[in-house]
């Protein structure tokens, strides 16, 4: 199968009992592109992300992922070893709560270096050097490499998680409310950091948020979800400055402009 997209979701539906969390969703993401998914709580954003990353099996529809070598895999019927291999190498998942994405009983350096070891790096000095470099990249002093995550503030834990996810330079990252649990002042800095790294490494990203400010800062394109449907999509600035769907207009008008 030939495709230019890095990820392609076609006609995806996922229900829980009689709640249709995602209904006939179609979505393409191109290499290096950042796509935002916005919508109020319960609109199906997290479900869509979990289907896209193989954590949930959709009731119908397909999710295709293309690796660097143009190898296309259907995420909906991938084997668990293949899925885990993808998660170690080609993509990454940044959780809202850093505790879900970090090992809290392992040092900062160990957390960052783990994926390198998982893909077979067996040189302690190299792993440590790479971990220290990534600490600096996410603006944490590398002298703190041996500290446990619990010594760090929430914002720093989130930076640590970002370093842990990006060290293998994945091609795609999924983020679910990555700054949701943080103070507003800290949020802005983390978003800047994500933006900088994603552009620098040319990573494609799908970012789920209820916060239109996050989307405006990060996303090239935005999809608006309501009750499991995509009600509007397009270039971020166009959608946010000139929303067509009544629901989007409501969302946009309710945000406080800063």
Partner 1 sequence: MDELKYNFAYLDEQTKKTIRRAILKGLSIPGYQVPFSSREMPMPYGWGTGGIQVTSSCIKQDDTLKVIDQGSDDTTNAVSIRNFFKRVTNVQTTEDTNKATIIQTRHRIPEIPLVEKQILIYQVPTPEPFRFLEPSEFETRKIHALKEYGIMHLKLYEDISKNGHISTSYNYPVLVDDNYISAPSPIPKFDNPKMNNNPAIQLFGAGREQRIYAIPPYTKVISLDFEDYPFEATKANAVCQLCGATDSYLDEIIIDNAGGRMFVCSDTNYCQNNLLKKIYNP
Name the 3-class secondary structure at 222. strand
Instruction: Taking each helix axis as running N to C, give the angle between helix 154-166 and helix 184-200, from 0 to 180 degrees, rounded to the nearest 10.
Output: 10
| 160 touching partner 1, by CB under 8 A | no
- Can you tell me the distance from the alpha carbon of 47 to that of 40, in angstroms, rounded to the nearest whole number? 13
Angle in degrees, CA 134, 159, 129, rounded to 5: 15
**Nearer to partner 1 by C-beta: 46 or 53?**
53
Determine how many CB atoms are found less than 10 A away from the CB of residue 207: 27
Gyration radius of the chain's alpha carbons: 18
Q: What is the largest CA-CA distance in the chain?
A: 57
- The residue within the footprint of ligand ADP, chosen from 36, 39, 110, 170 (CB under 6 A), is 39
Choose among ligand ADP, Mg ion, partner 1, none what residue 127 binds, the Cβ cut-off being 5 to 8 Å by kind.
partner 1
Give yes or no for residue 21 binding ligand ADP (CB under 6 A).
yes
Give 47 or 73: the residue with its C-beta nearer to Mg ion.
Answer: 47
- Interface pick for partner 1 out of 55, 118, 186, 217 (rule CB under 8 A): 118
Touching ligand ADP, residues 134-153 (CB under 6 A): none
Output the CA–CA distances (angstroms, integers) from residue 89 to 110, 114, 164, in the order listed: 17, 12, 12
Taking CB under 6 A as the criterion, the residue among 46, 53, 179, 248 binding ligand ADP is 46
Backbone angles phi, psi at 46, to 5 degrees: -65, -40
Q: Which is nearer to partner 1, 88 or 210 (CB)?
A: 88
- Least distance between partner 1 and beta carbon 97 (Å): 20
Beta-bridge partners for 73: 65
Shortest distance (Å) from residue 40 CB to Mg ion: 10
Please give the DSSP secondary-structure letter assigned to residue 151. G
Among residues 114, 176, 177, 232, the one that binds partner 1 under rule CB under 8 A = 114
What character string, x for contact with partner 1 (CB under 8 A) and - otherwise, covers 127-156?
Answer: xx----------------xx----------
Q: Which of 39, 54, 113, 155 binds partner 1 (CB under 8 A)?
A: 113
- DSSP string of 128-150, one letter each residue: HHHHHHHHHHTT--GGGTTS-GG
b/e map 99-110, b = 16+ CB within 10 Å: eebbeeeebbbb
Please say which residue, 20 or 106, places its beta carbon nearer to Mg ion: 20
* Span interacting with ligand ADP, options 14-22, 119-127, 212-220, 234-242, rule CB under 6 A: 14-22
Q: How far is the CB of 43 from ligand ADP (least distance, A)?
A: 4
Nearest-5° Cα angle at 207, 68 to 6: 20
The binding site for ligand ADP (CB under 6 A) comprises 16, 19, 21, 39, 41-47
The binding site for partner 1 (CB under 8 A) comprises 80-81, 84, 103, 106-107, 109-110, 113-115, 117-120, 122-125, 127-128, 145-146
């Amino acid at each position: 199968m030939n495709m230019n997209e890095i990820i392609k979701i076609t006609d995806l539906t996922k229900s829980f009992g009689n709640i249709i969390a995602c209904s006939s969703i179609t979505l393409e993401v191109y290499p290096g592109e950042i796509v935002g998914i916005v919508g109020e709580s319960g609109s199906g954003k997290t479900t869509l992300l979990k289907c896209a990353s193989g954590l949930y099996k959709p009731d119908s529809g397909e999710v295709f992922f293309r690796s660097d070598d143009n190898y296309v895999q259907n995420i909906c019927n991938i084997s668990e070893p293949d899925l885990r291999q993808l998660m170690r190498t080609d993509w990454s998942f940044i959780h809202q709560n850093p505790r879900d994405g970090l090992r809290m009983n392992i040092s900062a350096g160990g957390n960052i270096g783990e994926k390198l070891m998982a893909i077979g790096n067996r040189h302690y000095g190299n792993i440590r050097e790479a971990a220290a470099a990534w600490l600096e990249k996410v603006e944490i002093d590398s002298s703190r490499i041996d500290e446990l995550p619990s010594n760090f503030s929430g914002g720093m834990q989130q930076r640590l998680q970002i370093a842990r996810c990006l060290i293998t330079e994945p091609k795609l990252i999924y983020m679910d409310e990555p700054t949701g649990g943080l103070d507003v002042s800290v949020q802005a800095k983390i978003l800047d950091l994500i933006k900088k790294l994603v552009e620098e490494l040319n990573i494609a990203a799908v970012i789920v948020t209820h916060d239109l400010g996050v989307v405006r800062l990060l996303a090239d394109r935005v999809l608006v979800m309501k009750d499991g449907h995509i009600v509007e999509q397009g270039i971020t600035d166009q959608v946010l400055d000139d929303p067509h769907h009544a629901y989007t207009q409501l969302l946009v008008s309710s945000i406080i402009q800063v």
